[in-house]
Structure 1
Amino acid sequence: MTTDTSSLYVEYKPLLSSIAYRMLGSLTDAEDIVQDIFAELETMQTDHILNMKAYLLKMVTNRSINMLKSARKTREVYTGPWLPEPETADAGQTPETAAIQAESVSYALLVLLEQLSPVERAVFILRETLDYDYRDIAELLDKSDANCRKLYSRAKQKVSTAPVPGREERAAAEPPIAVPVESTRVTSDHAKHAEILSRAFMAAANSGDFREFVGMLADDARLYTDGGGKVRSAIFPIIGSNRILAFLQGIAPGNIKPENQLLIDVNGQPGLRLNRGDELFAVLSFQFDSDARPVRMFMVTNPDKLQHVTP
């Protein structure tokens, strides 16, 4: 990279990467898009660009929309629920990591964003998670302010009552849980509850009895596992605390051992890294409703989605 491009890379890569990741739910694809943008920028004459930040934001947003349109067909025939790649960090906090987490989008919200069209998702992310005004969003997407307002309103309604993504017949059979958008935000209160729940899971694994842990869940809680057809996992949501208990008691032997668990940060909230021996087996995270009840658990076991997990 030239000196100018390198300085732009340092300045804008974190912002562009966060937008691409929130759009795609894939750290790998987000990295590819950002690298391609700066590789293209290296070959361009940029003297005519008056607002470089706006130019780069438009590039990353539009490329993410195009990639998401292509990816949706693959995700529709995915084996089991398609869950995003988790973004993880060590549980120990430094001022720098705390600042990053303060701007994190919860894993639960990323899951719900799968219900939106690519353009709805772009508007929602720019407005809800980055607090952009409608005028700026309209310029980025070449739409009117009024159109962006309608897209945002529609998107917010969808994510408030949406089932987790999957094939149409699976989604239709799953009763929706009404979870306000506000309850999917990363907050200190939810972080506290997530840590308590994570530690309860670790204690259950230590004792071999998950009844007390499952007793902390809502009666109609759901567990979603994403093995992507590459490792054995449930291809349908596991609904209800009794079924979740049976599932956990069934997979725990040989898979979930107390010495192979680590409390980590998952998209700004405490979650768990589960190892099988020396190898990463799964990342576990939680979603709460407006009363702080644990209503959803997400277990990612697809090895392709665990490549960026903190060692």
Structure 2
Amino acid sequence: MRTEQESAVHSGTDGGAGEHRAARPREGGDTVIVRSPTEARNSGTHDIDLLPSLDILRQINAEDMTVPTAVAAALPELARAVDLGVAALESGAAIHYFGAGTSGRIAAQDAAELPPTYGVPADWVVAHHAGGGDALARAVEGTEDDWESGRIAAAGVAPGSLAVGLAASGRTPYVGGALAAARERAAATVLISANPDAPLAAGVDVHVGMDTGAEVIAGSTRMKAGTAQKLALNAFSTAVMVRMGRTYSNLMVGVDASNSKLRGRVVTLLSQATGLEERACAEALAAADGDTRVALVSLLADVDPRRAARALSTGGGRVRAALAELGVPDQTV
């Protein structure tokens, strides 16, 4: 079944694949014509190749300024995605990202930065990129068009997990295959795209469709569409971490102080959260064996690290819950 967003020019007879035929080209060299806002020609940049450098940059910047508005319009759907992510993690399952090209690289970066930033296990958020690790540094042509490789990538998705597919056009076969397999495994599904009418949207629980429109250079979805996905994914994972208690107020209290720079950052953080001098905060951090949350609860509640750790365990790792357990009133600085 063809969608309004795309059509295909076949190299042979049609041996179609049912409802997924448009998003899953046949072997044999099909040419898929994508009908998506991200592929349209931008009427405001026809003369970009005639301009001096500064004016080229001004046109790019003017288009970039429209992206936050497109993301803002999709925040209600993004909030639903956050709720699904929190539910997955609280149930002991995981969040899985699936993407190809720019979308996949953005997903891989986001997942890689969460453990050191928030001190969470690496298996909380896992990124899967079409073509594997080699495709992160160098384009591997054709991998995004493989529906079955997406299904294989999602084979480890457990029931109760959340699968997040990222695709600028909203029709990438690799992403479609992964989301279909995740649904079959009783996982919740989210699609993040730059196409409000994304073909894959009908099969997911939540579609975060950001209307970023035509790119400065037609079809260069690493531009506005990629920026929108970066903004959306940053906001998504940050909100999930906040909801999971990995911050106290607006401070990162789950940060893994694994080097001197991070230890200094944690001492500063503890001082900001408590109003105490840095020396006292450094001593508390050392007494807590480098655990930021234990040190913070110990300082705020004036208890020893062992008691602070027990309160945190009872409170599910959340600082405010631990303080309430210890009878300490909210005293955010």
TM range (shorter): under 0.3
Identify the structure with bigger relative contact order (alpha carbons < 8 Å, sequence gap 6+).
Answer: 1
Give the greater-gyration-radius structure (CA): 2
